[in-house]
Every structure is written in C-alpha cells, then in structure tokens.
Structure 1
C-alpha cells in the first residue's frame, strides 16, 4: 500500500516539476545569455515573474517528492521522474498551443511502457531508513567531486552541446544526491519530529545541494540545445539515484534473467527521451530546424543575448503562443 502511495506522489511530483520546467525554460531565454554560469543569472531570474511562477511548481514538486521518499525506496521514486519530460511536453503543448504529432505520442508511450516494465523487472525494494555516517562521507565526496569535474569541463567549453551536456549531468548528480538526503530528512521528521528535522545535517545539506542543482540546471538550459542537456539530466538522475539507493540504503534490484529486460527498458527509455528532446515545442525552434544549427563548441556565437532571446521567444503562426526551450 505504501508503495502505491509513493508512486502516486512521485507522479504528482513529476507533473509539478513539468509545470515549473515550462516556466523556467521560458525565463531562461529572456535573461541575458552573457550571465551564464554566474551568480548574476540567478539575480536576473529572480526579477522575472514567469521564473518565480516556475519555482512555485518546483517547490510543490519538492513536497510531493518528500512524501514519496518517506513512503517508498529511492530506487522506486526517482526513476518515475522519467515522466517529467512527457509531462513537460503536454503542459507546453497546452500552454503554447502546440499539438503533439503522432511520433511524439509514440515516444511518450515508449517512456511510460519502459518505466512500468523496467520497475516490474527490477522490483526495487528492501533497504534501511537511514544510512551510516561513513557511507554518507564517501557518497558526498564522490558526488560533489563528480559535479566539480563536470563543471570544470563545462566552463572550459564555449556555449554548445558539450557544455550543456556537462552541466545537465552535473545537475542530475546534484538532484539525485538531493533526493537521497531528502529521504533521510523526511524519515527523521516522521519518526522524531520537527525539532530533530531542523537539527539534522541532512536537512541543510539537501537544501544546499538542491539550490546548487537548480543553478546548474538554469545554466545547462542556457548553455546549449535541449537535445544535449535533457537526456543527461533525465537519465542521469534516474541512474545515479538507483546507485545511491543501492549503496546508501541497501535497496535491492532483481538480477539474473531479469537484467537483460532491465537493460532493454533502459535503452528504450533513453531513445524515447532523446527523441522527445528534439521536439520543437521544447527546443524553441521552428519545424524543420535541426539541432545542428546550434553553434559548435569550438565556434564563437556572433549573435548578442538579446538577438538570441528574440530568435527563440517569438509569436507562432497563430500570433499568440510562444516557443520555449
């Protein structure tokens, strides 16, 4: 019964995050691109009303995610966030009047089928409610170290696909670590009360990593095309969360003959996520424009930040909607 509650809360969290994503991607195109990977980017976003609305969706998602993690394993909850991209497409399609073509619906169906079948094949379960301090030290060092390396690689590259992919993967690791910390904090809250919750180091750690991950995500959205950042973000979050669930909390997955089916579902989900990331409703590009139009990593963009925003935030043929990235 608790697993069912956890799954419902995880789906609601993915839907709320999708609503926030649409607002955040629109806002990321309004602020100057020159603020990429600077604190000034967050200041500009804070002064953008549509971004503030998006953060409201993210905060609502955090509440649902906390409830999901309090009632189910990390290895069950986080993979459900694969649904975030299809939900984002649905919200953007409704908000900006972009009907989804049949191929997009097929990709959405592929994600749903691969997620359901993958969870059935893996059957995540077991695990402890809290992880020992020694494991936390090792996990924090590995995750933060990987994020630092990816950020270093990103800043050494010009705006383009490679930079966006590095930033997206760094954000994915941060979000997975945030979820692992949040699981510990919500367990403390449910078993020991509000006082213990606010005196637990995991509470402040998940808040800090969550803010850092949000900063990395916003920079990933500005650094290059969605086709580069979204697969790294979506799949990276799910895979790192599975790893943390197993290593930190002792959660288990089925092995043996179930493993090939799990890998097949992963490949199907990866293909579908990549295809959905090319969707013009999210990319902010008109139909028929490929992602190769984005400047390569070794090229210097010649357009200004205002030109870039104008090229992506513009009326559709209907004259009322707006493309988002």
Structure 2
C-alpha cells in the first residue's frame, strides 16, 4: 500500500503546475488590487458627476482645468483616488512576483464588483444583454489567465526591446492626442475608455521593466526613461479615465480598462518581451480567441448597458442617481462627508456658493 500524500507533497504538486512559483503570490495580490480598483472607480465616478452638476459644465468632451481642480476638493473623488493608489501598489507588487501577461488580466474581477456596486447606487439593474456582455469579458479574460498561468515565464528585457516599447508608446500617445484634439466634440465614452486602456497597457509594461531592473541593480539612463514613460502614460491615461467617467457609467469604464489594458500588455509581452516564447501553437490561438471574446463583450456592454440605454432614451432616471433605498455604498459616502464635509464649488461666472 502506498502512503497517503502529505500536505507538503500536495503543495509541491500545486506549485509544479505553474512555471513560476511566484505566481502563487502574484495572483492574490492582483485580485486584491482588483477589489480596490472597483471601489476606487465608483467613488471617482461619483466625484466627477458631482463636479459636473455643481459647475453646470459637461465634461464629456474633456474635463476643463477648473473641473480638474474641483475634483481635488471632492471627498468622494479623493477617497476613490486613494483606493486606486492602493490598487496600483497591489498590482506593482504582484508584477514583482508574476509575469505581466498573467497579472494584468486578473483585473477583470473588478468588472463584476463594479457592476454590482453601480447597479445598487444608480438603480440601473443589469439586463440580460448587459450580463451576457459582462460574461463575455470575464470568460475571455479567464481563458487567457488559464493559458498564461501554464506557459508565461519571466524573461530578461534587452535594451533594444525596451527602446522599441518606448518608441511605440511615444507614437501611440501622439496619435491618441491628435485624435482627441481633432474629434473631441464627436467622440464618446468608448474612445476615452480604449485610449486609457492602451496607455495603461504600456504603463504596466514599463512598470514591470522598471521593477525588474531595480531588483537586478540595473538602474541607468534607459530605466530613467522608463520611469518618465510611466509617469507620462499614467497622466494621459488618468485624464482619459476621468473624462470617460463624465461620459459613461463606471462599470463600462472598468470593462474597457480591464480588457483593453491587458490586451495591450499581452501583445507587448508576446511580441516584444517574449514572455510566452515556449508556449505551443494552440496557446496562441487561445490568446487570440480569448481576446476576441473580451473585446466583443466590451462593445456589447457599451451598446446595451442599461444606464447608457436609459440616457439615450432620455428616461426620467438621473445618471448616477440612486433609484431606490440608500445602498451600503451610499451610506458609506455619507459617512465620508461627515468626516470630511464637501466645500462649496464656485463658478467663474457665479461667485455665490452652490
């Protein structure tokens, strides 16, 4: 008779499933970051909506400097920013343990949490079509994570690869900025969501490189350029995200970010950083199929989200307003106000407090 396997043997077998044991640390950190992202997005969206109402200025074509300044005075927006900061810390820490193409897609769990939060707060209950769209997003990401967990590995990034990523980032940022300046009066939330997702995909890639080089003690001029790229990409992406909050519901924004962001990081990881170089051919087919499912889900959600449909039909439901009894998130927001009362917002044309 064979002895029953010990707990240590089972743990060793579990670790052996993955090419890198650090994944077992990176995955929980990435999931914790997704939770912070969900609550952070909800509170930032609420802050943007408040500033729009109080200043009587639509931010859907791009937030003004005055609106950005007023955001810093909204406790809900500041609380959301702190939560997103914690999400970034969790994500960066996860990147120090696990490959980029595994950590990034795990943010999809925040889509489910944000959808539930927004339904409670706005009163727009998910419809069958919107649930199907969300399911496509999550299913696509989960398929990718499963494949990536088995074949993703850490690979050293050469100077040539890093320069390639920086050049592509510069070109992409220039194109997105030009499109925004040219079409800002005609574009909607989907453009801002896609643009922010693209920028954050590059930010995650460069952040991963910076972490790896710091860990190896290789901090030189190219690493400094990466840090500059991270800061610039984060700033551009953050502006697009805040404008997206003024144009659409928070779960639509999160849906785009949790799909577009990892897809960009995936493409960079596969094509430039070679993080799945030893994966079989069917794994790449899985990557493509999973990405197609997730992207289709985003576009379906943008079309059939109940809050988007309600706004387009001009139904008597105020965007971002509560549709019933106060939710837990609403009560939490009131608690924040008691600790940190919101100051009055002043308009340039009306100096009286509102």
TM-score band w.r.t. shorter chain: 0.7 to 0.9
Give 1:207 deviation, angstroms: 3.0
> C-alpha deviations, 1:225-272, integer Å up to 9, x for none?
779866543322121101221244321163423444433333333344
Larger deviation, residues 216-225 vs 79-88: 216-225
Judge conservation of contact 1:6–1:71 (CA < 8 Å) in 2.
yes
Q: How far apart in 1 are the matches of 2:202 and 2:140?
A: 24
Q: Which residue of 2 aligns with 1:63?
A: 89
Q: How does 1:124-273 map to 2 (within 5 A)?
A: 124-129=151-156, 131-159=157-185, 162-192=187-217, 200-201=223-224, 202-223=226-247, 232-252=256-276, 254-273=279-298
State the distance in 2 between where 1:9 and 1:79 align: 13
3-state SS of 1:249 partner:
coil
RMSD: 3.5
Deviating more after overlay: 104-113 vs 86-95: 104-113
**Cα distance, 1:28 vs. partner?**
1.6
TM-score, scaled relative to structure 2: 0.70
Once residues 177 and 191 of structure 1 are traced to their aligned partners in structure 2, the CA distance between those partners, rounded to angstroms, is 21
From 108, 113, 118, give the equivalent of 1:87: 113
Please give the alpha-carbon distance, in whole angstroms, between the structure 2 residues aligned to 1:141 and 1:219.
26
- The answer for the alignment partner of 1:311 in structure 2 is 318
Q: Does the 8 A contact of 1:76 with 1:119 survive in 2? A: yes
Residues of 1 paired with 2:189 and 2:180: CA distance? 7
Give the Å deviation of 1:14.
1.4
Q: How far apart, CA to CA, are the structure 1 residues paired with 2:38 and 2:249?
A: 18
Deviations 1:86-133 (A, max 9, x none): 12113334566776567666655554443332233354423424x233
Further displaced range: 45-54 or 230-239: 230-239
How many residue pairs match? The answer is 297
Distance 1:151-1:168 versus aligned 2 partners, 3 A rule: farther
Which whole-Å deviations, capped at 9, do the CAs of 1:130-153 have from their partners, x for residues lacking one?
Answer: x23333333222223223222322
Residues 157 and 291 of structure 1: CA distance in aligned 2, closer, same or farther (over 3 Å):
farther
Contact preservation (8 Å) 1:126, 1:252:
yes
Q: Which moved more, 1:80-89 or 1:253-262?
A: 253-262
SS in 1 for 2:96: helix
Unaligned runs of 5+ in 1: 295-309
How far apart, CA to CA, are the structure 2 residues paired with 1:186 and 1:259? 27
In 1, the alpha carbon distance for the partners of 2:321 and 2:248 equals 19
Partners of 1:205 and 1:258 in 2: CA distance: 31
- Superposed CA deviations along residues 150-200 of structure 1, whole A, max 9, x for unmatched, are 23223333555x34333222211211111112112222444449xx69995
Give me the whole-angstrom Cα distance separating, in 2, the residues matched to 1:226 and 1:87.
11
- 1:65: how far off? 0.5
Indicate how the Cα distance of structure 1 residues 217 and 144 shifts in structure 2: closer, same or farther if over 3 A, else same.
farther
Q: 1:49 aligns with which of 68, 75, 79?
A: 75
Q: Which residue of 2 aligns with 1:297?
A: none
1:307 matched to which residue of 2?
none
Q: State the TM-score, normalized to the length of structure 1.
A: 0.76
Structure exhibiting the larger radius of gyration computed from Cα positions: 2
